[in-house]
Amino acid sequence: MTVETKPIKRVAIIGAGASGLASAKAFLAEEAFDTVKVFERNPLPGGLWNFTKYTDEEIQSPTTESNTTLQPRLHPETKNKEWAGPAYDKLTTNVPWSIMLYEHPTYTKSMLFGARTDIADFLHDYSKDINDHIAYGTNVVEVFKHGDEWSVKYQSVEPNSPIVEEKFDAVVSAGGYFNLPFIPDAPGLKKYSEAVPGSVLHSKVYRNPADFKDKTLLVIGNGASAIDISNQVAEQPGSKVYRSVRPGSESIGKPNPKTIEVGPIVKYDADERAIYIQDGTMLKDIDVVFYATGYYRSLPFLNRYNATLKRPIITSGHWLNNIYLHYIYIDDPTLVIIGITRFVIPFRVSQAQACYIARVWDGRLKLPPRPIQDLAQYKRFQEVESPEAVHDLKFPFDADYCEYIRKLSLLAPGDKGIFPKTWSHEERSFRKEIATARSAFSEYNHKFGKLARTREDLEQAGLIGHFELDDTKPNPEAYGKIKNGDQYTQEEVDAAVKELIDAGIYSPDGQVIGKGIAYE
């Protein structure tokens, strides 16, 4: 069964964060669906941008299972279930406000890099006209396919609530992947973490630097969270911060000069409470090891469904299999998983994805024939050094990706629906310099004790040069031909089949066997 053979009238969207809200608006704007229902387990929209003081119960170190379901806490008074988010108190975006957000004409606030409260405020305002379609305080426990219908089982967060089942024609998973922490294994880590509970943590449980006054930390990672945690804690009285980074990795933000950079960890010694670094250095008396090493791509409500598939969507949890354009499930495109790409402008990417699939499910557009999709997926795996990077779209690839999907969306007849924003020349130029601007922004905050509000603030402080337009040209056709799915010729399909047979992806009789695509 495909969306081409059965009309889609009932759409379930799981999650009311940035991806879920953009999806809901895109589907509602089509004016073609009888039901568009969003399930959100929290009491507010906004997803990860909503701050929770509470954190997950102690996370196992290392984490080895991508299908783990994190258990909620119970509110001490209401006994309602509550899920901890990853936002910390002083979180700011890594992306400039001007290029991060989708259009929202009634919202006029502007800044350089927004604080978490600014983004949450934007999303709360953005959701106002669709709140009637959102079931808040409702946790989806399982999604399964029965015949040509999707069964969505959900439960209120209130105590002793029954599990309710509802049927849909299509499902959008829009929960992102900042949920299940990934802590990679290292020799001795498990024994080390068990010897002193709470001595090995993940960045998801970080909230405030004051919690680590007079502590010695080792922060592992070179991304935004690693830089923020190490920089903030380094300013606390009596603190000492080491940061473990891989040689050649690029930091997102400017490291605080008070932090001490060391190389990769080679082993932990629980008996000596020692940590050995690749260059032979031994660190002792570390109070807390903080892993800022990212998250699994985890979809616990799909665990049972995933286990029934000959070609599972999730195996290791570091990438998704059998996925076209990074979000459309090839075997059954009535399931899409929005917001799994990394190193992108997530709001813009999620909106583009939602706009295109809304037109497909409406029937105004067609997906390419199966061999074209399979070939695109195969080629993507061949482009990257390891499958862990298959969903990484650093600039200019994220901007080109959005532009490709925008151009596909424009092929739909009529002018109804939401159209993704065009990436302007200025936005592409600003996107290219994000790392430099973010480092200058961090340095400005450290130097002046406040957030820079405009790029001009950074220029006047001498922390960044004058803004110049970049000469990078858009290349959306790197992702495929800009044509509707029913416009592919038989010759093009046959050529794709031949290439897949030669690569071992298809058997000689044209059956999908999957050889050559990472599924382990």
pLDDT at 3 over 50: no
Q: Which two tokens stand for residue 244?
A: 């473990």
pLDDT at 251 over 80: no
The pLDDT, as a whole number, for residue 327 is 97
Alpha carbon distance 15, 292 (integer Å):
24
Average pLDDT over every residue of 338-362? 95
266's enclosing H/E stretch is: strand 265-269
Average pLDDT over every residue of 337-358? 95
Tell me the percentage of the chain whose pLDDT exceeds 90.
78
The pLDDT, as a whole number, for residue 517 is 65
Lowest mean pLDDT among 34-48, 93-107, 291-305: 93-107
pLDDT at 1 over 50: no
| Residue 149 CB-half CA count within 13 A | 9
Cβ atoms of residues 418 and 405 within 8 Å: no
pLDDT at 13 over 50: yes
Average pLDDT over every residue of 419-448? 90
Tell me phi and psi for residue 57, to 5 degrees.
-60, 165
Tell me the percentage of the chain whose pLDDT exceeds 70.
98
Q: Which two tokens stand for residue 402?
A: 């959005």
Average pLDDT over every residue of 2-21? 85
Tell me phi and psi for residue 381, to 5 degrees.
-65, -30
Lowest mean pLDDT among 74-78, 246-250, 456-460: 246-250
The pLDDT, as a whole number, for residue 2 is 39
Average pLDDT over every residue of 387-410? 95
Is the bond preceding residue 62 a cis peptide, omega within 30 degrees?
A: yes
DSSP symbol at 520: -
Please state, rounded to an integer, the average pLDDT across all residues of the chain.
92
Domains in the chain with CATH codes: 10-53+66-180+296-428 (3.50.50.60), 189-291 (3.50.50.60)
Tell me phi and psi for residue 141, to 5 degrees.
-100, -25
What contacts 128, CB < 8 A, 6 or more positions away?
none
In terms of pLDDT, which residue wins out, 312 or 511?
A: 312
519 — pLDDT class (breaks 50, 70, 90): low
Average pLDDT over every residue of 341-354? 94
Average pLDDT over every residue of 101-121? 89
Average pLDDT over every residue of 10-18? 97
The pLDDT, as a whole number, for residue 513 is 73
Cβ atoms of residues 379 and 455 within 8 Å: no
pLDDT at 494 over 90: yes
Q: What is each CA distance from 367 to 7, 26, 41, 224, in whole angstroms?
A: 14, 18, 32, 36
Q: Is the pTM of this model over 0.85?
A: yes
**Interval 253-273: pLDDT, tens:** 778 889 999 999 999 999 999
Q: Which two tokens stand for residue 178?
A: 């900042």
**Interval 152-177: pLDDT, tens:** 999 999 999 999 999 999 999 998 78
